[in-house]
Amino acid sequence: MARKDDRRKAGARGGKPGNGKPGRPARPGVKPPAAPPQPPKPKFQGKLLENEPLARYTTYRIGGPARYLLTAASPEDVARGLEMAQERGLPWVVLGLGSNV
């Protein structure tokens, strides 16, 4: 007794090879669907850490936890981080490379 898989053969339903769907001939004048739109770019590419000890980021390894610590990956991240802080009424300080503490 033949199994279902054995009965199916390539092109058994007709249609032209390479049209994307077996058994359906390509319709004239119909364009294939466009590629799906790319997902929106993330608003923030760096890291936003909460209650992060600042000692890991300073030259002399001193500093307690910061409520929020932004490690930016680009100048756009810095701008977005400052916007977020202003929107929420949060105070902010730029650490640089940690030697200005």
Q: Of the segments 36-40, 48-52, 91-95, which one has the largest average pLDDT value?
A: 48-52
Which position has the higher pLDDT, 71 or 33? 71
pLDDT tens profile 54-97: 999 888 888 899 999 999 999 989 998 999 899 999 999 888 87
Sequence-ordered list of residues with C-beta below 8 angstroms from that of 101, at least 6 positions apart, any chain: 54, 58, 59, 60, 62, 63, 95
**Rounded to an integer, what distance in angstroms lies between the CA atom of residue 52 and that of residue 66?**
5
User: Domains along the chain?
Assistant: 47-88 (3.30.43.10)
Sequence-ordered list of residues with C-beta below 8 angstroms from that of 72, at least 6 positions apart, any chain: 46, 78, 81
Q: Is the pTM of this model over 0.85?
A: no
DSSP letter assigned to residue 14: -
